């Protein structure tokens, strides 16, 4: 089967730990959360969210939007892995490209929540990374966060995209891929159709302190991607393609956000899906921002993902200033 959308990346379980607002134990500023050594820090609850991660979230989002969706990932032969696989099936994501490796553990991350903000403790297990031998070229191949032990695998993905021009490569780099920088992954950037990152990540990739969104996008586009999206949190998002650069604001929160985990994944995957469905890139990004506004209303990156009809309903009642403005 030729899928519309195939995501590639690591899968994990996220354990969301909601910390109590206990000022005697913690200092919380806009950019940091500090805990004193030796203290016992109280928490309110722990919520496990199965089968998540940048690429997993994207695969589920694409499926909810009506695309045929599959997932290339690796996991251990443990109870956590079995539960993640069951969850993928429940979400309707095809699992024929999931590789289970004996003697390995499945990724498990901890998310420290304080108000709407979060800090994630991550550990990517090491797997034997390869694309499946029977891999049918999809319409869109969405590549995202993966272990630092998978550096050589990036070149395999780049080679596959180069040899299969009928497949459009989407690159939403994770933490390790951003740290690697543009030179180490120049072959990936060179064959990328759609690229997504936030402003701070763009500065790291380009090794610059430049803050102008258009200049950052032009720098990223010079690496190869045809369409570049750079998000900037509350300041909105920006897109650059062959028809110019545009800026658009955040979709207003319908209620105070519960947790911001997964907002970037929702933006990127939804934008990709709507481009695949035929919308111009800037119109697709507006839908991506709507899905992000919904996701932050729940705990976990997939809980509040919208269907295509739901996104269009939100779009129909959008504020007058929720539109793309040329830069």
Least confident of 13-27, 150-164, 191-205, 291-305: 13-27
Tokens for 30, please give them.
């806009």
- The secondary structure of residue 228, as a DSSP letter, is E
Name the one residue in this structure whose structure tokens are 């200049």: 215
pTM assigned to the model? 0.93
**pLDDT tens, position by position, 272-289:** 999 999 999 999 999 999
Q: Is the pLDDT of residue 31 over 70?
A: no
Q: Is the pLDDT of residue 116 over 80?
A: no
pLDDT of residue 26: 56
Q: Is the pLDDT of residue 128 over 60?
A: yes
Structural contact between residues 57 and 300, judged by C-beta atoms closer than 8 angstroms: no
DSSP secondary structure of 152-166 = HHHHHHHHHHHH-TT
pLDDT of residue 283: 98
Q: Roughly what angle, to the nearest 10 degrees, separates helices 199-206 and 213-221?
A: 50
- 238 vs 23, residue with greater confidence: 238
Mean pLDDT for the chain overall = 93
Q: Which domains does the chain have, with CATH numbers?
A: 54-103+128-326 (3.40.1190.20)
Residue 9 pLDDT class (50, 70, 90 cuts): very high
Q: How far apart are CA 97 and CA 2, in angstroms?
A: 13
Handedness of CA 177, 179, 183, 189 (dihedral sign): positive
Q: How far apart are CA 81 and CA 71, in angstroms?
A: 14
Q: Is the pLDDT of residue 323 over 80?
A: yes
pLDDT of residue 257: 86
Least confident of 28-42, 60-74, 230-244, 282-296: 28-42
**pLDDT tens, position by position, 203-235:** 999 999 999 999 999 999 999 999 999 999 889
Length of the chain: 327
pLDDT of residue 184: 95
């Amino acid at each position: 089967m030729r899928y519309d959308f195939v995501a590639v990346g690591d899968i994990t379980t996220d354990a969301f730990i909601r910390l109590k607002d206990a000022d005697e134990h913690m200092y919380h500023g806009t950019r940091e959360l500090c805990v004193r050594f030796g203290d016992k820090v109280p928490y309110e609850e722990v919520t496990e969210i199965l089968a998540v991660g940048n690429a997993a979230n994207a695969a589920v989002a694409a499926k909810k939007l009506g695309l045929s969706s599959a997932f290339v990932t690796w996991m251990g032969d443990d109870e956590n892995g079995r539960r993640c696989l069951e969850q993928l099936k429940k979400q309707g994501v095809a699992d024929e490209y999931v590789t289970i490796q004996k003697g390995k553990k499945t990724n498990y991350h901890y998310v420290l929540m304080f108000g709407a903000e979060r800090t994630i403790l991550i550990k990517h297990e090491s797997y034997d990374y390869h694309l499946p031998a029977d891999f049918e070229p999809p319409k869109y191949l969405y590549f995202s966060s993966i272990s630092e032990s998978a550096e050589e695998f990036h070149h395999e993905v780049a080679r596959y995209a180069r040899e299969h021009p009928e497949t459009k490569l989407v690159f939403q780099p994770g933490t390790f891929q951003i740290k690697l920088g543009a030179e180490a992954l120049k072959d990936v950037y060179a064959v990328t159709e759609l690229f997504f990152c936030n402003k701070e990540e763009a500065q790291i990739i380009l090794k610059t302190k430049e803050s102008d969104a258009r200049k950052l996008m032009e720098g990223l586009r010079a690496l190869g991607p045809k369409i570049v999206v750079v998000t900037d949190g509350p300041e909105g998002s920006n897109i650059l393609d062959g028809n110019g650069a545009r800026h658009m604001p955040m979709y207003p929160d319908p209620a105070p956000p519960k947790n911001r985990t997964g907002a970037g994944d929702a933006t990127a995957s939804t934008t990709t899906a709507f481009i695949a469905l035929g919308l111009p890139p800037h119109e697709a990004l507006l839908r991506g921002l709507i899905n992000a506004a919904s996701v932050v209303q729940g705990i976990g990156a997939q809980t509040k993902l919208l269907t295509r009809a739901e996104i269009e309903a939100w779009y129909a009642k959008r504020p007058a200033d929720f539109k793309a403005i040329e830069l």
